[in-house]
Amino acid sequence: MKMYYDQDANLEVLQGKTIAVIGYGSQGHAQAQNLRDSGFHVVIGLRKGKSWTQAEKDGFEVYTVSDAVALADLVQILLPDERQAFVYKEEVEPNLKPGATLVFSHGFNIHYGQIVPSSEHDVIMVAPKSPGHLVRRTYEQGAGVPGLLAVYQDASGQAKEVALAYAKGIGCTRAGVIETTFKEETETDLFGEQAVLCGGVTELVKAGFDTLTDAGYQPEIAYFECLHELKLIVDLMYEGGLSYMRYSISDTAQYGDFMTGKRIITEETRKEMKKVLSEIQNGEFAKSWILENQVGRPVFNAINRKEQEHMIEQVGTKLREMMPFVKVKK
Ligand code: NDP
Ligand code: MG
Ligand code: MG
C-alpha cells in the first residue's frame, strides 16, 4: 500500500483548466469550495432548485448541467448515485469536450456499467472517506480528510497525475490518499455499509433494545445502553483500536465481551456476510437497487416508514432533547 501526500501531487497539471462540479449537495458543496480555495476555476452544474440557490449564495457561477459540462476540462459527477446514469446520458455525454476528464467520488455507476464513457476520456475517482461537511470543515481548519484515488481509463497518459492534483485541491493529500480500483472501492464500500456500518449496526442496536424492553426494562435505560453508549465505545476504537477500547472498559465488560461476542456474531452470521459480499460482487444487489429506483422505490419507502416508527426512535427523540450536550438533529 502506498500513501500519497501533498508533495506527491502537482497542482499545475490543472492550472488554467475549468472544473465543473455537477451537484451541490453533501460532497458537491465541499469539494467545489475547497477546489476554489486551492486556486482552481470552478463552475457548478445543476437544475433549478434548492442547491442552485445555495451555490449562487456561495458565490459560484451556476449553469445547467449541459452548459457547465460544455465549459469544462474536468467534470466531477456529484449527483445521487441512482440519478447519475440518466443525467449522464441526457446532459453530460452530449456536451463533453473532447479529451475532458470524468471524475467520480464513488464507483457504482462505472463499475456496474450504468455509465460507459467513450474511450477518449480519462475516467478517475477521487473519493474522500468522509461526509461532505467534514471535507469542508477540516479543509478550512488547514487539515484534510483521507481519500481514495483510482484510474479506470487513462486516455491522456496523465490520469493519475490529474487525480492526485484533484485530491490535493480538495485537501485529501494533507491527510493521505490510497490508490484503489473502481471495483475495490465500490464493492468494499457497499459491503461495509451493508454488513457493518449501517445494516449491521442498526439491527444490532435494535435487537439489543428490543430484548431489554421486551423483558420489561425501561426504554430510556435500554436506549442509553444500546445506542447512546455506542458512540463512546466507537470513539475509543477509532483512537486506539479494539485493544485500547478493551483497556479502557472494566475487566467485567471485557470478560463479557470475550464470552458473548461470538454467540451474537456466529459462524452463521459470517457465512451470511460472505453471501452478502458475493451478491455485491455478482451485481445482484446493484440490479435490485437500480430496479427499485426505476419503479419509484416502493420497498425503500415502506421500510423507511416502518423503521421511523420503531420505539427506539420515539424514546431517542425525547432523550436527546433532554441532553443539551448532544447537538439535536431532526
Ligand atoms: P447529495 O444527495 O447530497 O447531493 C446531490 C446533488 O445533486 C444536489 O445538489 C442535488 O440538487 C443535485 N441533483 C440531483 N438531481 C439532479 C439533477 N437531475 N440535475 C442536476 N442536479 C441534480 O449527494 P452526495 O453529495 O451525498 O453524493 C454525491 C456523490 O458523492 C455520490 O456518488 C456519493 O456516492 C458520493 N459520496 C458521498 C459521500 C457523502 O458523504 N455524502 C461520501 C463519499 C462519496 P437539488 O437541490 O436540486 O436536489
Ligand atoms: Mg456508500
Ligand atoms: Mg455498561
Is 80 exceeded by the pLDDT of residue 330? Answer: no
pLDDT in the model for residue 201: 98
Does the annotation list 6 as a binding residue? Answer: no
Would you tell me how many other CB atoms lie within 10 Å of the CB of residue 132? 18
pLDDT tens, position by position, 66-91: 999 999 999 999 999 999 999 999 99
Q: Measure the CA–CA gap between 290 and 286, rounded to whole angstroms.
A: 6
Phi/psi of residue 47, nearest 5 degrees: -100, 165
pLDDT in the model for residue 325: 84
Q: Is the CB of 54 under 6 A from ligand 1?
A: no
| 106 is known as an active-site residue | yes
> Chain-wide mean pLDDT for the chain?
97
Q: Is the CB of 49 under 6 A from ligand 1?
A: yes
Is 80 exceeded by the pLDDT of residue 328? Answer: no
Ligand 1 atom having least distance to the Cα of 24: 9
Q: Measure the CA–CA gap between 36 and 43, rounded to whole angstroms.
A: 9
Q: Is the CB of 127 under 6 A from ligand 1?
A: yes
pLDDT in the model for residue 72: 98
* Ligand 1 centre distance from Cα of residue 311 (Å): 31
Listing DSSP states for 65-122 in one string gives HHHHHHH-SEEEE-S-HHHHHHHIIIIIGGGPPTTPEEEESS-HHHHTTS----TTS-
pLDDT in the model for residue 154: 98
Q: Which residue ranges form the domains of the chain, and what is each CATH number? A: 3-180 (3.40.50.720), 189-321 (no CATH)
pLDDT in the model for residue 242: 98
Q: For the whole model, what pTM was predicted?
A: 0.94
pLDDT in the model for residue 129: 93
Atom 8 of ligand 1, nearest CA residue: 25
Ligand 1 atom having least distance to the Cα of 87: 18
pLDDT tens, position by position, 119-162: 999 999 999 999 999 999 999 999 999 999 999 999 999 999 99
Q: Is the CB of 26 under 6 A from ligand 1?
A: yes
What is the percent of the chain with per-residue pLDDT over 70, rounded to a whole number?
100
Ligand 1 atom having least distance to the Cα of 91: 19
Per-residue pLDDT band for 326 (boundaries 50, 70, 90) equals confident
Residues with CB under 5 A from ligand 2 (ion): 189
C-alpha cell at 82: 441512482
Range 307-313 average pLDDT: 97
Atom 28 of ligand 1, nearest CA residue: 78
* Ligand 2 centre distance from Cα of residue 295 (Å): 22
Atom 34 of ligand 1, nearest CA residue: 106
pLDDT in the model for residue 329: 81
Q: Is the CB of 44 under 6 A from ligand 1?
A: no
C-alpha cell at 100: 475532458
Is 90 exceeded by the pLDDT of residue 300? Answer: yes
Q: Measure the CA–CA gap between 135 and 197, rounded to whole angstroms.
A: 19
